[in-house]
Amino acid sequence: MAALAGRRTTLLARNHAVMLASQLPRAMALRQAYAVRPKPTEPLVIDGTSYPRDAFTNATPTILDKLPRRLHLQPSHPIGILRSLIESHFSSFAHLNSLSPIVTVAQNFDDLGFPADHPGRALTDSYYLNERHMLRTHTSAHEVELFRQGLDQFLVTADVYRRDEIDRSHYPVFHQMEGCNVVDPAQGGIERLERENAEMRAALGAANIVIEDPTGVETATNPYQAEHDPRTARIIAEHLKNSLNGLVLKLFGGRAGGDGAEPLRVRWIEATFPWTAPSYEVEVMFNGKWLEILGCGVVRQAALDKSGVGHKQGWAFGLGLERIAMVLFSIPDIRLFWSSDARFSNQFRQGDITTFKPYSRFPECYKDLAFWLPEASGAQGGDKVQQWHENDFMELVRDEAGDLVEGVQLIDEFTHPKTGRVSRCYRFNYRSMDRSLSNEEVNVIQERVQERVTSEMGVEVR
Ligand code: PHE
């Protein structure tokens, strides 16, 4: 990072355009619309259900507005197109696309064996409605309930929510697909998997694909489950791998850059997830770079026991749709998926993977904001000063700026040699996907961010 230590960067001094006098009245009207709201106390009401607020509540209106969008259900949206393509690879599975994004903390974490101190549970990482209910952070949140309902082969496609940084490839809402396949060994299930393995192996053997798989043998760091006969565990793991190698071939075969004559390269990597063992990640070589596309593994018997189907065995995977869609459709900014601009949506047709043709990019507008972080400990009027966390800051920015902010980057940090206080300077990059932004409207947003970061996060603007 460039050393800008000691340089004074205030909001107003760093505006990159000057506001015209004629723009002032509109700016004032906008500012009123953004007038400080008292912290709400009434319950959150979503789809007719009421969720009382408590100390966990951190889901913002900006996020809750996304719940009804359901991009994966739009047949000619890249996310919807990709969903259909993946569903066609698992055509005999049940396809579930309308499960509510509101789940219990038990569904999202506890039932899957996440430890109490897992970082994913933190308020800084996940969106909570209250202590008991949250927005799912992954589609795995539905595994236990669906196994319990007796489903054996299913795909779940859904919107998932995670608090994150702001840049062109991160967005607090994205889409995942969960695939699960469990069988009953007492009903000939393992023999069926073996037969399917032989068929899939033959098809893959004839295809233009190179699979690097150092995880093929059981290792001490990624062992089979004690409850499993090693032969059975291997058959299930192979079935998982064959199914996913086949999927990757369907999605990327002949498209991974180059002239299509080059073989598609896939690699398997050891991973850890609390409810699978062994566990893996899959990467695909695309345009000369390894792209991580999914996590998967053999479902732990503890999760199946929890579902009341401990007599079954099988596998699960979860993949992120945006990341794959961005490379397959050449979409440069994740916010475009949420654009309602016809120049975006009219480019795509159901069933087709086509290359996105960018329309003119609108000009960007930079703003810098420098502030002292609150002192880590100490008390003010009896209130504990909250621990500063960057994700809370990002969330506040998203709440004020919505999709108009393209990136927020830390450009400078230094510690005052005498007081020990930490100063940070963030650069905001504003750009709309659909239109030109006026400097005045960006100023209004930026001022609101400054006000809120001061009043809600205890920083001191420099
Ligand atoms: N839910 C995991 C994730 O979001 C992926 C996963 C799904 C891993 C199923 C194993 C089994 O990263």
Structural domains for the chain: 51-345 (3.30.930.10), 360-461 (3.30.70.380)
Pocket test for ligand 1, best of 140, 154, 160, 272 (most atoms within 8 A of CB): 140
Owner of token pair 């996440």: 114
Q: Is 134's pLDDT higher than 80?
A: yes
User: What is the C-alpha separation between 280 and 81, in angstroms, rounded?
Assistant: 26
Half-sphere exposure in the Cβ direction for 340 (13 Å, CA): 1
User: What is the C-alpha separation between 136 and 108, in angstroms, rounded?
Assistant: 6
Distance 164 CA to ligand 1 centre (A): 18
Three-state SS at 129: coil
With a pLDDT cut of 70, the percent of the chain lying above it is 89
Q: Indicate which residue's Cα is closest to atom 7 of ligand 1.
A: 318
pLDDT bin (cut points 50, 70, 90) of residue 64 is: very high
Q: Indicate which residue's Cα is closest to atom 4 of ligand 1.
A: 138
Three-state SS at 230: helix
335, 406 contact by CB (below 8 A) = yes
Least confident of 36-50, 80-94, 248-262, 344-358: 36-50
In angstroms, the Cα distances linking 304 to 155, 176, 228, 280, 301 are: 17, 21, 13, 19, 5
Least confident of 237-251, 364-378, 432-446: 364-378
For 280-335, how does the pLDDT look when each residue is reduced to its tens digit (9 = 90+)?
999 999 999 999 999 999 999 999 999 999 999 999 999 999 999 999 999 999 99
Q: What residues have CB less than 8 Å from 227, skipping those under 6 apart?
A: 301
Distance 143 CA to ligand 1 centre (A): 10
* Tokens of residue 364, six digits: 């960007």
